[in-house]
Amino acid sequence: MHRYSSVSAFLAHYQALRKIPAPSLSEKDRNLLAAMELLLEVLRPEERAAIVSESGDAAAARHRERASMRLRRELMARGALDG
């Protein structure tokens, strides 16, 4: 897993990889995306949905905030987050 400067950087990288058509991903990127997906399984379904959603409603914002805290802990535990 790469090291990231923030949860936002991790999520931006995740979103960027998700937007690339699967046949166009390199083997390295496919493996990285699979590892990211596995890591995101620690989130509750509503938190995971909020991360990929661009909704601005209050419930989605709360779920994104909880997901961000949970992801930060998980990334820190795996040594994938600086600071």
- Please check whether residue 19 lies inside any domain of the structure: yes
Q: Determine the Cα–Cα distance for residues 54 and 60; give it in Å rounded to an integer.
A: 9
Q: Is residue 83 part of a domain?
A: no
To 10 degrees, what angle do helices 58-77 and 7-19 make? 100
Q: Domain of 67? A: 7-77
How many domains, the chain? 1
25 belongs to a structural domain: yes
Query: Does residue 39 sit within a domain?
Result: yes
Q: Report pLDDT digits (tens) over 16-36.
A: 999 999 999 999 999 999 999
Which residues of the chain fall short of a pLDDT of 50? none
Q: Examine residue 2 and state whether it is found in any structural domain, yes or no.
A: no
| In-domain check, residue 1 | no
| pTM across the whole model | 0.87
Would you say residue 69 lies in a domain? yes
| Residue 65 within a domain | yes
CA distance 82 to 80: 7
